[in-house]
Amino acid sequence: MKKHTLNTPRLYLRGFMPQDAGDLLAYLACPRSNCFLDEKLSSLEAAKQSIAQRSQDPLQLALVLKEEQTVIGHVFARKESPDTYSVGWCLNARYEGKGYAFEAACAYLSFLFFSQNARRVYAYVQEGNTRSQKLCEKLGFRREGLFKEFISFITSPDGSPVYENTLQYAILKKEWEKIHNMEIAQAE
C-alpha cells in the first residue's frame, strides 16, 4: 500500500501518524458537520485508534501546517468504478477562512486526476454547509443536483431519523485541466 505525501506552499498532505492523535482529537471531539458525527472522538485513546485505521487508507491524508507541524484537518477519497472518486475534507474550525482548505483541495484533486487517473471527482455536501459549497464552487466543481431528504445522521427526540438535503458537486479531469491552465496563464 503506497503512502503519498503532497506538498503545497503552507501544507504537507501525508498519511496519519501516531503523534497526530491530539490534533485529530482537537477537531473531531465536536464535529461541526453532521456527516462527521460517526467520526466523533471522545478521548486521546479513541484518536489513536482512529489514526491506526486512517493510516491504512492511502487516500486519507492529514493536512499538516508546515509552520507549526500541526494537523489542521484531513482530506479523503473513495474510488468508485474504474475512474471516479468521491472526495471530502474536514478542517479544524480554528484554521478556517485562511485558504488552507482550498490549498489542500487543489493539491489533492491534482493528485487524484494526475496520479490516480481519476476522470471524474464528486462531492456530497449538506445543504446547510455553505463553506463546503463555496469551496466546491471555487475549485470549479459544478452543482449537479439536490437530493431531498437524502440521508440521516441524527435522530429526533422521539428516535425517528432526521433526513437532510444533500447537494452533489462534480468536476471532470478535462474541466480541472482547463481551469488549472487558465490560472497558470493569468499568473504569467
pLDDT digits (tens, 9 = 90+) for 13-47: 999 999 999 999 998 887 665 455 467 678 999 99
d(CA 84, CA 101): 21
For the cut 70, the answer to whether the pLDDT of residue 184 exceeds it is no
Q: 63-107 pLDDT, tens per residue?
A: 999 999 999 999 999 999 899 999 999 999 999 999 999 999 999
For the cut 80, the answer to whether the pLDDT of residue 126 exceeds it is yes
pLDDT at 159: 86
Contacts of 188 (CB under 8 A, 6+ apart): none
Contact 146, 99 (CB under 8 A): no
For the cut 70, the answer to whether the pLDDT of residue 133 exceeds it is yes
Q: How confident is the model at residue 135 (pLDDT cuts 50, 70, 90)?
A: very high
pLDDT at 113: 96
> Hey, what amino acid is at 7?
N
Beta bridge partners of 120: 84, 172
pTM of the model: 0.89
Q: How confident is the model at residue 176 (pLDDT cuts 50, 70, 90)?
A: very high
- Mean pLDDT score, 140-160: 83
Residue 135, helix vs strand vs coil: helix
- Mean pLDDT score, 148-166: 79
| DSSP assignments along 11-71, one per residue | EEEE---GGGHHHHHHHHSS-SSGGGGGG---SHHHHHHHHHHHTT-TT-EEEEETTTTEE
For the cut 50, the answer to whether the pLDDT of residue 186 exceeds it is no
Instruction: Quote the mean pLDDT of the chain.
Output: 88
pLDDT at 84: 97
Contact 75, 61 (CB under 8 A): yes
d(CA 125, CA 169): 8
pLDDT at 44: 93
Contact 139, 103 (CB under 8 A): no
> Hey, what amino acid is at 103?
E
Contact 72, 63 (CB under 8 A): yes
For the cut 50, the answer to whether the pLDDT of residue 188 exceeds it is no
